[in-house]
């Protein structure tokens, strides 16, 4: 029977797509199949788009057009379940944006993107209304619980008074018993006493249960791990940190009751992340697979933000959101969560968190900065005249690589380079006692930086005046002067 239902839904989807492609009127067809407009149809639509793009790349334009048109019609369809219709439309838009590239389909990509934004807004309105109804129902239920609890407490108090009176009377009768009549009265009182005692026990048990149910600690916390931020990048990830210790520190705060959801975002196909697998499974963290569709977009950050906002709207019991990342882009996410009345906890390396993100968090929990292992430092960086695996060289290299995470600094590195005085200022601001620590490698800043950037994608121009990306020299060598295009390591 389940297979028959699945086949019927698959046939319904194919008929919908065919009718849309042939510009037929599909509203009557939708009206006749309202029960099939559900989450299963949304899942099948996503899979169909992915499979069809893989099998027919040459027919991509027609496929994109049909999916966008069908999603738009279902989004505006007023019959059936509006929430289900909207999820089907969102599935179509998201599937298109996941499989097509903006550069190849600029018109279709923009249409799908704008439609998806509108659909998200509709979903937010639906969720807000649903959340409001749930809150109202929760308040009513809690009021009823309070009333029943109060009544039980009153009955319990009355039962206790009766219990004490009966106990006093039984004691008196036992002392005064001298006739069969008084003996019968005593037995009757004892039976009444036992019944009353059992009633008192039931009332106490019920009252305790009511109190527990109204005061039980909720699973109120969701934790989101930005693994790339924790590993300090993907080129040479640092893995000597403890997710267990992070979780333990969070549980010590008064804001966290019980952890309901944990998600870790990364490209888990990277074999180097296998070292985290056991700890991820032990702690019950869900590993969210992320593939970067473009080097210009951080897909993990985007997916994390989307998941957070969906949960913030759909799970009213989740009141505390923990963001394990120092990325400044999450400051806007934290502000939006505050608009929904949520509490935000930031957790990141003390020296690596964005100051704006830290300022908007309700609570910040620092993580000790992991020290690179000896085997993580390439042997080719060791020279006889100095200890090139010294901490200051490692920290400086990390600080220079972090320049690429800032949009403005990355743009400077790509276009004309960053002047050394500005580099010096950045390093002094980010590395305590920078000038004193680098003296072991010579007083000349240029010589020191040459050692640090050796073998990296950052180079020092021949005039020793700027740092820039090595790849930009290769890409634009025809447009650069001979003097600039000769760069030292």
The residues near 183 (Cβ < 8 Å, ≥ 6 apart) are: 177
Contacts of 380 (CB under 8 A, 6+ apart): 455
How far CA 70 is from CA of 19, 237, 301, in Å, comes to 9, 44, 30
pLDDT in tens, the chain (489 residues): 456 777 888 888 898 898 888 898 888 888 888 888 888 888 889 889 888 888 887 888 888 889 999 999 998 988 888 888 889 999 988 888 888 888 888 888 889 888 888 888 888 888 888 878 887 887 888 888 888 888 878 887 887 787 788 778 777 776 665 554 555 665 666 666 666 667 667 666 665 655 544 444 578 899 999 988 888 877 778 887 889 989 888 888 888 888 999 999 988 888 888 888 888 888 999 999 887 654 445 788 888 999 999 999 888 889 999 999 988 889 999 999 998 889 999 999 877 788 888 888 999 999 887 765 444 444 333 333 334 345 788 888 888 888 888 888 888 888 778 888 888 888 888 888 787 778 777 668 888 888 888 888 888 875 557 888 877 655 544 444 333 333 444
Could you give the CA distance from residue 10 to residue 104 in angstroms, rounded to a whole number? 30
What CA–CA distance (Å, rounded) separates 346 from 229?
Answer: 13
C-alpha to C-alpha distance for 272 and 464, rounded to whole angstroms: 36
- Residue 188: what pLDDT? 67
CATH number of 221-367: 3.40.50.1010
Distance CA 349, CA 325 (A): 8
pTM: 0.39
CA 479, distance to chain mean position in Å, is 44
What tokens does 351 get?
Answer: 């020296």
By C-alpha distance, which of 379, 381, 383 is closest to 452? 381
In terms of phi and psi (left: phi > 0; alpha: psi -120 to 50; beta: otherwise), the region of 378 is beta
Q: Are strands 418-419 and 286-289 parallel, antiparallel or unpaired?
A: unpaired
Q: What does the buried/exposed string (b/e) look like for 200-213 if buried means 16 or more CB atoms within 10 Å of the residue's CB?
A: beebeeebeebeee
Strand order in the sheet with 458-461: 418-419, 466-469, 458-461, 487-488
The most distant pair of C-alpha atoms in the chain lies apart, rounded to whole Å, by 127
Angle (CA) 137-218-256 rounded to 5° is: 130
Q: How far apart are CA 317 and CA 301, in angstroms?
A: 24
């Amino acid at each position: 029977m389940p297979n028959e239902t699945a086949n019927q839904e698959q046939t319904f989807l194919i008929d919908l797509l065919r009718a849309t492609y042939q510009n037929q009127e599909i509203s009557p067809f939708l009206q006749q199949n309202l029960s099939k407009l559900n989450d299963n149809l949304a899942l099948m639509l996503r899979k169909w788009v992915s499979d069809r793009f893989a099998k027919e790349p040459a027919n991509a334009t027609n496929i994109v057009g049909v999916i966008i048109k069908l999603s738009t019609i279902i989004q505006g369809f007023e019959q059936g379940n509006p929430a289900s219709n909207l999820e089907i439309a969102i599935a179509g838009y998201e599937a298109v944006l996941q499989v097509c590239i903006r550069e190849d389909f600029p018109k279709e990509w923009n249409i799908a993107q704008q439609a998806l934004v509108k659909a998200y807004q509709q979903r937010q309105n639906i969720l807000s209304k649903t959340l409001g109804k749930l809150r109202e129902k929760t308040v009513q239920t809690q009021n009823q619980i309070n009333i029943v609890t109060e009544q039980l407490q009153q009955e319990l108090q009355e039962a206790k008074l009766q219990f004490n009176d009966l106990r006093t009377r039984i004691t008196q009768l036992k002392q005064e018993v001298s006739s069969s009549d008084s003996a019968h009265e005593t037995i009757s009182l004892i039976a009444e006493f036992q019944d009353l005692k059992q009633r008192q026990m039931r009332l106490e048990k019920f009252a305790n249960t009511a109190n527990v149910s109204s005061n039980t600690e909720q699973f109120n916390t969701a934790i989101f791990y930005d693994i790339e931020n924790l590993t300090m990048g993907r080129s040479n990830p640092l893995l000597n940190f403890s997710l267990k210790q992070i979780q333990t520190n969070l549980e010590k705060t008064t804001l966290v009751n019980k952890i309901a959801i944990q998600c870790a975002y990364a490209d888990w196909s990277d074999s180097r992340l296998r070292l985290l697998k056991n700890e991820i499974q032990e702690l019950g963290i869900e590993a969210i697979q992320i593939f970067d569709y473009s080097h210009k977009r951080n897909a993990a950050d985007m997916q994390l933000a989307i998941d957070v906002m969906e949960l913030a709207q759909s799970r009213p019991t989740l009141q505390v959101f923990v963001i394990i990342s120092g990325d400044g882009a999450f400051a806007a996410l934290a502000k939006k969560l505050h608009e929904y009345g949520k509490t935000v906890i930031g957790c990141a390396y003390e020296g690596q968190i964005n100051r704006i993100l830290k300022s908007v968090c309700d609570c910040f929990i620092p993580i000790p900065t992991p020290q690179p292992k000896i085997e993580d430092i390439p042997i080719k960086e060791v020279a006889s005249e100095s200890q090139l695996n010294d901490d200051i060289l490692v920290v400086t290299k990390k600080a220079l690589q972090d320049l690429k995470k800032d949009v403005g600094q990355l743009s400077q590195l790509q276009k004309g380079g960053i002047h050394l005085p500005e580099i010096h200022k950045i390093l002094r601001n980010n590395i305590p006692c920078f000038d004193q620590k680098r003296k072991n490698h010579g007083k000349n800043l240029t010589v020191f930086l040459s050692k640090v950037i050796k073998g990296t994608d950052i180079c020092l121009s021949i005039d020793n005046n700027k740092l820039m990306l090595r790849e930009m020299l290769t890409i634009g060598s025809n447009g650069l002067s001979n003097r600039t295009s000769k760069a030292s390591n």
